[in-house]
Structure 1
Amino acid sequence: MPFIKRDPTGQIAALFREEVVEATEYLPPTHPEVQAFFGTMAGNSNETNGSSVAEFRPDMMQSDLAMIRVYEDLIDILISKHVVVLTDFPPAAQEKLMRRKRLRSSFSNLTEALEITDEDGII
């Protein structure tokens, strides 16, 4: 998330968790346009414990993103210890887990390829 749908003026009109026909453009949750959209949705007049919902959203979103990684790692541990098997999950969840695992693996390989060590003599 989020895939975005823009209105005729180019502003974000809607956010979608998954890509759909009308929303194929992806922006990271921390992108200023996405943050502005959340602020517009929440409105600056909604008060929660003395601070506006719009101010609270970015912190909550960062926390959600960090927790997603924890959940991924937890699922990997449970699968490796044979507590659950991938096929215990619904097909849509299996697909998302495998796609995420491939994505993380590709970034891991890229990071290793770009690593510079003293042994290489590259500075």
Structure 2
Amino acid sequence: MPYVVRDGEGNVRAVFDSPVDGAEEVAPDDPDLGAFINQNAQTGMVLDEWVQSDLELVRVVEDLVEVLIDKGVFMFNELPGGAQRKLNTRRGRRKEMDLMESLFGEMALPEGEQGGTIADIPEDSDDNSIL
């Protein structure tokens, strides 16, 4: 049986699978428990959408940095060292994925899996390009 902790208004605020201080045992089909689980599932979906949006924005930022460097707005080596390393790492991973797709097509890796490293990019590389 699940155990729930309620707020002052009687709404479920936490669920446990074993007894804890301040929790009451409820039936698995308790409507308040169902509402709590539903609300948290929806919150999880919203968070997943935010994470996906962030991942897409990362690519936009990478492309923006590339355009600004190509236009001479700033040089790659003017970025902080940490930013240079991260961009170089992403550049290397993108090249690996491009190579895998060119060799094997989109079926190269099962969905959600990442491939191994083909070549490491030195962290202190003097190469100022990001692609």
TM (norm. structure 1) is: 0.48
Structure number with greater CO (CA < 8 Å, separation at least 6) is 2
Highest Rg: 1 or 2? 2
